[in-house]
Amino acid sequence: MIDRRHFLGTGGLALVGLASGGIAAQRRRVRPKPVLSPHEALIGDLQRRTFQYFWDTTDPVTGLAPDRWPTPAFASIAATGFALTAYPVGVVNGWISRDQARARTLATLRFFANAPQGPAPSGTAGHKGFFYHFLDMQSGTRFRRTELSTIDTALLLGGVLFAQSWFDSDHPDEAQIRALAEQIYAAVDWTWFTPRAPFVSMGWHPERGYISSDWDIYNESLMMYLLALGSPTHPLPAETWNAWTDRFAAAWSDRWGEPHLAFPPLFGHQYSQTWVDFRGIRDRFIATKGLDYFENSRRATYAQRDYAIANPGKFVGYDAACWGLTACDGPGDFTVTLNDVERRFFSYSARGPGDRDDGTIAPTAALGSIAFAPEIVLPAAGALHKRYGSGIYQRYGFIDSFNPTLTAAPPGMRAGHVDPGIGWIDQDYIGIDQGPIVAMIENRRTGLIWRTMHRNPHLRRGLRRAGFTGGWLA
The pLDDT tens digits for 88-97 are: 999 999 999 9
How far is Cα 409 from Cα 8, in angstroms, rounded to an integer? Answer: 39
Give the residue-averaged pLDDT of 427-437: 98
The ranges assigned to domains in the chain are 4-473
Give the residue-averaged pLDDT of 129-142: 98
| Model confidence band, residue 372 (pLDDT cutoffs 50, 70, 90) | very high
Instruction: Give the pLDDT score at 35.
Output: 64
- Are 433 and 328 in contact, with CB atoms under 8 Å apart? yes
Q: Residues with Cβ < 8 Å from 265, sequence gap 6 or more? A: 325, 326, 327, 350, 351, 352, 355, 365
3-state secondary structure of 242: helix
Q: Say what the pTM is.
A: 0.92
How far is Cα 48 from Cα 352, in angstroms, rounded to an integer? Answer: 28
Instruction: Give the pLDDT score at 34.
Output: 61
CATH architecture of 4-473: Alpha/alpha barrel (1.50)
Instruction: Give the pLDDT score at 36.
Output: 66
Q: What percent of the chain has pLDDT over 90?
A: 89
Q: Residues with Cβ < 8 Å from 15, sequence gap 6 or more? A: 26, 28
Q: What percent of the chain has pLDDT over 70?
A: 92
Among candidate residues 127, 87, 78, 89, the one with its CA nearest the CA of residue 107: 87
Q: Cα separations (Å) of 255 from 189, 260, 353? A: 39, 9, 10
Instruction: Give the pLDDT score at 5.
Output: 29
Alpha-carbon radius of gyration of the chain: 22
How far is Cα 342 from Cα 324, in angstroms, rounded to an integer? Answer: 22
Instruction: Give the pLDDT score at 32.
Output: 58
How far is Cα 224 from Cα 228, in angstroms, rounded to an integer? Answer: 6
DSSP string, 290-307: TS-HHHHHHHHHHHHHHH
End-to-end CA distance of the chain: 46
Higher pLDDT, 35 or 441: 441
Among candidate residues 105, 101, 2, the one with its CA nearest the CA of residue 47: 2
How far is Cα 296 from Cα 128, in angstroms, rounded to an integer? Answer: 34
The pLDDT tens digits for 310-360 are: 999 999 999 999 999 999 999 999 999 998 999 999 999 999 998 999 999
Instruction: Give the pLDDT score at 6.
Output: 29
How far is Cα 284 from Cα 302, in angstroms, rounded to an integer? Answer: 24
Among candidate residues 299, 317, 319, the one with its CA nearest the CA of residue 307: 319
| Angle of CA points 78, 391, 306, to nearest 5° | 70
30-35, Cβ contacts within 8 angstroms, sequence gap of 24 or more = 33/7, 34/7, 34/9, 34/10
- Are 282 and 292 in contact, with CB atoms under 8 Å apart? yes
